[in-house]
Amino acid sequence: MWTLLFPGQGSQSVGMGKFLFDEFKIAKEVFEEASDAINLNLKKLCFEGPDADLALTENTQPALLCVSTATQKVLRSEFSLKIQNTAGHSIGEYASLVSADVIPFSSAMKAVRRRGQAMQSAVPVGKGGMLATLGLDDIQARWICEEATKNSGKGPLSPANFNCPGQIVISGSSEAIQWLKDNFKPENIPGSPRRAKLIPLNVSAPFHCAMMKPAEDNMRSFLSEISFSNASFPVVQNFNAQSVSNASELKENLIKQISAPVLWTQTMQNLKESNSIRLLECGNGSVLKGLFKKFDENMKVINFNQLEDIKNFETLLKTEGLS
C-alpha cells in the first residue's frame, strides 16, 4: 500500500512535467483537460514559463495541480498501485482530493484558478508577507508573533505552515513582520533558542492567516456549487491533520484551510502512526521529501522528476514484489 503526497506552492519550476507529457499518453490528456477547463495553455506555462508568469499565484496553483495529477495518473496507470491514503501541502490538497475521487479534475482546476485569484486579491500588495523561522518550536513561534503584534500595534501575525520540527512559517501584517525583523533577538525568546533565525519569503501575499478570510469567503461561495464525493481512500487534511473520508467534512476543511495554518508536521506524524511507510511525492521537485527527512529519516519518500525516476520505480516494484 502506498501514500500519495502532493507538494504546494514554491515547488514549481519551468520545465516541470515535460517528461511525463512527452512519454505518457495519459499525461497529455491531463494537460489537455486542464488547459480546456480554465482556458489557459498549461503546456506552454509549465514547459516554457517564463518564471515570472509561472510564479503568479493564479497560474502557479493550477500548474501544480496539473503536474501533480499527471504524475499520480501515470504512476497508477503504469503500475496499478494500491493506495492507502493521501496528503497534500496547501494547494497540494486539491491534488489529493482528485486522486481520491472526491472532486472531478476539471472542477478542481477551476477551483484552484479561482483560489489563486482570490488569495492574490484578498490583501493589497505590500500589506502582508511571510517569514520562515528556523530553530523555533511551536510555542516559541507563537510567542514571537504575539510580541510583534503587541509591540508594533499591528496585526495579525501568526504561524502559517508547521512544515517540520524547527521550520515554521509565519504570516501576516507587513508592519508586524518589519517590527519583528528589526527587533529579533533569540536570547529574548523563552527557552533562548541558540540558532534561531528568520528568513523573509518572496511571496505575493500573506497566505494561511486571518488576512486570507476574504479569500476563504470567496471560495466558500464557489465550492458550494461543486459536488464532493466521499473519498475512495482517506485524505489527511491540512486543517486538522486528521484522516477524513466524508464528503461534507472534506469540503469544509478545504475551505477553512485558506486562512488556517497548514499542519504538515502533524500530518507527517499522522502518517507515521498509521504505518504509512511507502511514500510517493507526486509532483515537481523534492520539497516534501526534504521535510520528511528532517521529521524522520526512516520515512523514505520517492520522487518523480525525470523519466529515469519512473524506470527506477518500476525496477523497485519488480525487485521487491510490491504493488
List active site positions.
90, 208
Long-range contacts of 180-183 (CB under 8 A, 24+ apart): 180/131, 180/144, 180/147, 180/148, 180/152, 181/131, 183/148, 183/151
Cell numbers found for residue 6:
502532493
Pairing verdict, β 2-6 and 83-88 = parallel
CA 190 – CA 182 distance, rounded (Å) = 18
CA 184 – CA 107 distance, rounded (Å) = 44
Residues 168, 138 contacting (CB under 8 angstroms): yes
Residues 313, 299 contacting (CB under 8 angstroms): no
Angle at 188 between CA 184 and CA 191, to 5 degrees: 120
Beta-carbon-side half-sphere exposure of residue 267 (alpha carbons within 13 Å): 31
**Peptide bond between residue 193 and the one before it cis (omega within 30 degrees of 0):** no
CA 302 – CA 289 distance, rounded (Å) = 7
